[in-house]
Amino acid sequence: AEPVPAEPHLAEPYMARTLAVLGLSVEYVRAEGDTLYHRDEQGAERAVLDLVGAFGATILGHNDPDVVAHAKAILDARLPVYAQFSLHPYADTVARKLNGILTRELGEAEPYFAVFANSGAEANEIALKHAELDRVTRLAELCGALHENRENARAALVEGTAVLADDAFAVLGVDVHDADHLLKAAELANAESLSAPPVLLALEGSFHGKLVGSVQLTHNPSFRLPFSSLAAQCRFVPADRPEALARIVEGERRTVFDFTLDAGVVGVVERDMPVFCAFVLEPIQGEAGINVLTEETARHIQQVCAAVGCPIVIDEVQSGMGRSGSFFASAGIGLRGDYYTLAKSLGGGVAKAAVTLVRASCYRQDFDLIHSSTYAKDGFSTRIAEKVIDLLETDGGAAYRLATARGEALMTELRAVQAEFPDVVKEVRGKGLMVGLEFHDQSVAAAPALREKADMFGYFAAGYLMRAHAIRIFPTASAVHTLRFEPSVRLTDAAIARTGAALRDLCGVLRAQDAARLLGL
């Protein structure tokens, strides 16, 4: 570990302390490909193999030469970076390219409109905001129709041109058999239903960001619960029991009472109202511990959502941009959404870029004026995004084939480690370059020091691999026994072999329950 600075840290002061405890206090001074460099005590550069790849933001590696050259060219040409409220043809180009990929990989015939953002959480919040704008607009239309139908029924009853249907009172459940009372009861019941907050749906374990809106969809209670009063709440569905979705949806369904007027008879009918704002899901859950959604679960979610008119937001922030072996991980499981969100690698590892794609037929044109951000769709990050897409698409998508091949090579090595240490490694799973290695639960470890620290286990494992093997790795945010591997498509065989050797050593330490060695005591 580096010496503790004399001056206290002011930027996230407690993070420095945590990093020190874990043996992760290093300042990286240079980055290239899958390597980060920091200085050792003699001031010499020490190369660290970066297996987390900026948590999935560097599919092409750190400072990819083509991306860097493009970034320099943008700046050298003095292209405007911030010119809001003017035409942005390059943003249109990015949207067009993404549409081409959607058509090729997902068979989407309909266009998707693009709204640009700065981060993954923001892209998801844009999808939520848009879905809610769409819901409240539909709600307002429904409200108008209910009012009109009720007043028509009232007029017909007052004029005596119609009579109430025999079951009218029973449908509403009112005992007082009076038309005015019935109309009022329907209005009151509807007002209550129509003011209900929107229902959001997501899978257990999901991670969709940490801003006020998106954190409600991030399952991890320590990230979410302190902020639950700030926004609409989400119902979490167990990913391994998709049948639970139908039950949850049934429980959340709400209806309103509408009046019909047909052949001189006023009837009361119960109609569904749009209560579901969106189902947000990752095709491969990242922070939950790298869980690939099955085709069956995807199909089930799609059917249930279609039945109740709930839009689907597919969060490809971590799984997208080629990491899974196709540009969209949804392609591999037949998942189709009304919204897709991208971020992380969209910025090529040098810019902050994100985008929300919205199915054209759901798009509310007011949204262009209702939503904006100073930095979104800027001339720098958007042009970088275009370059990254071009680089991924080069040679008929050679990068996607590389992601599959390098991912398989990595997974083969990790599986070999698992086979040698089945008592230590529980499972290896993932797709392409989104791989997780899960250790057996250390909260029941033999060594008391390991049991005590089990809730931070993956971070201590990371500290050990950093100290002993110059490997940078982290657990997933919500499953600390799973280490995540999200390197670039340039991951070499030598790096994979080095990873295998380091993990065998770590597994040996765990098999021996050598807490002192693992924790660096």
381 is an interface residue for ligand PMP by CB under 6 A: no
Tell me 287's DSSP state.
T
Q: For residues 356 and 418, which CB has a smaller minimum distance to ligand PMP in the complex?
A: 356
90 is an interface residue for ligand PMP by CB under 6 A: no
The dihedrals phi and psi of 241, each to the nearest 5 degrees, come to -130, 70
207 is an interface residue for ligand PMP by CB under 6 A: yes
d(CA 340, CA 323): 16
d(CA 182, CA 169): 7
Token output for 103? 């058509």
For residue 126, give the nearest of 198, 201, 214 by alpha carbon.
214
**Rounded to the nearest whole angstrom, what is the least distance from the CB of residue 126 to ligand PMP in the complex?**
12
Tell me 456's DSSP state.
G
Q: Pick the binder of ligand PMP from 119, 382, 418, 488 (CB under 6 A).
A: 119
Token output for 420? 């040698």
Number of residues that bind ligand PMP (CB under 6 A): 15
Binding mask 31-70 toward ligand PMP (x if CB under 6 A, else -) reads ------------------------x---------------
Q: Pick the binder of ligand PMP from 318, 418, 488, 499 (CB under 6 A).
A: 318
Residues numbered 143-182 forming contacts with ligand PMP, rule: CB under 6 A: none
For residue 373, give the nearest of 117, 182, 30, 105 by alpha carbon.
117
For residue 343, give the nearest of 366, 369, 376, 368 by alpha carbon.
376
315 is an interface residue for ligand PMP by CB under 6 A: yes
Tell me 422's DSSP state.
T
Q: For residues 38 and 429, which CB has a smaller minimum distance to ligand PMP in the complex?
A: 429
Q: Pick the binder of ligand PMP from 23, 33, 209, 283 (CB under 6 A).
A: 209
- Residue 302 near residue 283 (C-beta atoms within 8 A): no
120 is an interface residue for ligand PMP by CB under 6 A: yes
What are the E-state strand segments in 350-497?
354-359, 425-431, 434-439, 471-472, 474-476, 479-485
- Residue 432 near residue 403 (C-beta atoms within 8 A): yes
**Rounded to the nearest whole angstrom, what is the least distance from the CB of residue 14 to ligand PMP in the complex?**
20
Please identify the residue of the shown chain whose CB is closest to the bound ligand PMP: 120
- Part in contact with ligand PMP (CB under 6 A); list of ranges 27-35, 84-92, 296-304, 315-323: 315-323
**Rounded to the nearest whole angstrom, what is the least distance from the CB of residue 485 to ligand PMP in the complex?**
14
- Cα dihedral across residues 469, 61, 122, 307: positive or negative: negative
Residues numbered 227-286 forming contacts with ligand PMP, rule: CB under 6 A: 282, 286
d(CA 132, CA 137): 8
Binding mask 434-463 toward ligand PMP (x if CB under 6 A, else -) reads ------------------------------
343 is an interface residue for ligand PMP by CB under 6 A: yes
Q: For residues 164 and 293, which CB has a smaller minimum distance to ligand PMP in the complex?
A: 293
- Residue 315 near residue 342 (C-beta atoms within 8 A): no
Report the interface residues with ligand PMP, using CB under 6 A.
55, 119-121, 124, 207-209, 282, 286-287, 315, 317-318, 343
